[in-house]
Amino acid sequence: MQSIDTLIFASWIIPVEPAGVIYEHHAVAVHEGQILAIVPSDQAVRQFSASITYRLPNHVLIPGLINAHTHAAMTLLRGFADDMPLHEWLTNWIWPAEQAWVSESFVADGTRLAVAEMLRGGVTCFNDMYFFPETMANVASKAGIRSVAGLIVIDFPTTYAQNADEYLQKAQAMYEQFKDHPLVHLAFAPHAPYTVSDAPLEKIKTLSEDWQIPIHIHAHETAKEVEDAVALLGERPLSRLNKLGLLSPRLLGVHMTQLRNEEIDLLAEKGVNIAYCPESNMKLGSGFCPVHKLTAAGVNVALGTDGSASNNDLDMLAEMRIAALLAKGLSKDASIIPASEALQMATLNGAKALGIDHITGSLVPGKAADIVAIDMQELETQPMYNPLSHLIYAVGRDKVSDVWVAGKHLLKSRVLISLDLHEIKASTTAWRNKIISTAKNAHQ
């Protein structure tokens, strides 16, 4: 009998690889932070002797969800400015608030709030784009969650840096600090084509190739963005990015609600990845990403929530449901984005887009034990015919009971292990009181 760290028994295990497979009455063997095996329960009893054993007879185990695009610290601006289009939301509310308040302490406290929310919703990895990424990475790694820290670049001065050169200098320092970190992965994060000029984008392309890390950028988010680019530069943003050589499997384009058929073909040809944020796109009135066309063309589409200031939550289970339903409605084809594909978009596709699918994204021996347990015994998920279907169309994030990242138990029976919920609530209230007093004065 083999001695291991952890053995988790469950009624159902959905590994994502192979696609659509559901193992009934199996167990996951975990040792030294990795998945050692997935075997039938009776075999697990004979084969393994575990230091810790979990028996979850009413649960389904899935890979940890991957939030492929967010701005974690913006949880502190949740509900701050709602019901307005993107341009007004950004220029009149969000950017002024950020200029007034964003700091290392803002990012630290906002990230802690976001990490707590994401863990309670089954997210084990998130791809972030925000200021002070070093602070975000330190907070996230201390909490035990996996993160992709965006090396932010933007042309104009902020509280973090004064110009593109300073952003890139800070990116270099952060790369040296975190390049071998077990939980912190890196990606360049130029904000958008309309906020980053050609010269820094060319430097980012070269450095991303040298460092072998992705590039994470908002693109074609709204019709106005595309129209403004054509008026100013005579071409659409994707055309410009293509001329700069950025369209490649290293690129993760976020939103992509404004796409022509020939642009979809170009994205497929270049191997570009898409981060689809359906709730944020709808709330800001930005449009709809043509997911059914992208997937049909072979484009890898991942799911993200965007930030809490524009969503207003970090609920990846909800994003899966909305993504599947919208694709069916827009295509007028109920078979588009079936439940298995929606789950893959929120797990393995995100890992592929971020270049970490050899580490996480599916429950496969040799990968990190990033595992989520979801309780399926409640009234809302009865009767049980298909746990994969229920996962997408019936389950809420309140049914997430347990979360492990790299084999470490971070959420146990809905209780956060690595974060103090009371401290997070207190700091969040303090920030709310400061921010709302400034906002009232600015908008009187």
Domain-wise residue ranges, the chain: 2-63+362-413, 65-353
Query: Please, what sign has the CA dihedral across residues 180, 182, 187, 189?
Result: negative
> For residue 85, what pLDDT is reported?
84
| H or E segment and range at residue 119 | helix 104-120
Profile the chain (444 residues) by mean pLDDT over runs of 10 residues: 96 97 98 98 97 98 98 96 87 88 97 98 98 98 98 95 96 97 98 97 98 98 96 97 98 97 98 98 94 97 96 97 96 96 98 98 98 96 96 97 98 98 97 81 51
Residue 98, Cβ density class (10 Å: 0-12 exposed, 13-18 middle, ≥19 buried): buried
Whether the domain at 2-63+362-413 and the domain at 65-353 fall into the same CATH topology: no
Can you tell me the distance from the alpha carbon of 96 to that of 373, in angstroms, rounded to the nearest whole number?
Answer: 40
Helices 421-442 and 104-120 meet at what angle, rounded to 10?
130
The DSSP secondary-structure symbol of 362 reads: S
DSSP count for the chain of H helices, then E strands: 17, 16
Domain covering 65-353: architecture = Alpha-Beta Barrel (3.20)
Pairing of strands 371-375, 215-219: unpaired
Residue 89: per-residue pLDDT: 86
Q: Which helix (H) or strand (E) holds 59?
A: strand 48-63
DSSP 363-413: --TTSB--EEEEE--SGGG-S-S-HHHHHHHT--GGGEEEEEETTEEEEET
pLDDT computed for residue 439 by the predictor: 63
Q: Which amino acid, one-letter code, is at 10?
A: A
Given 3-state DSSP classes, what are the helix, strand and coil percentages for the chain, each rounded to the nearest 5? 45, 25, 35
Give the global pTM: 0.97
CATH architecture classification, 2-63+362-413: Roll (2.30)
CA 287 to chain centre: 20
Give pLDDT, residue 380.
93
- Name the nearest CA neighbour of 314 among 142, 98, 147, 138: 147
User: In terms of DSSP bridges, do strands 371-375 and 48-63 run parallel, antiparallel, or are they unpaired?
Assistant: antiparallel
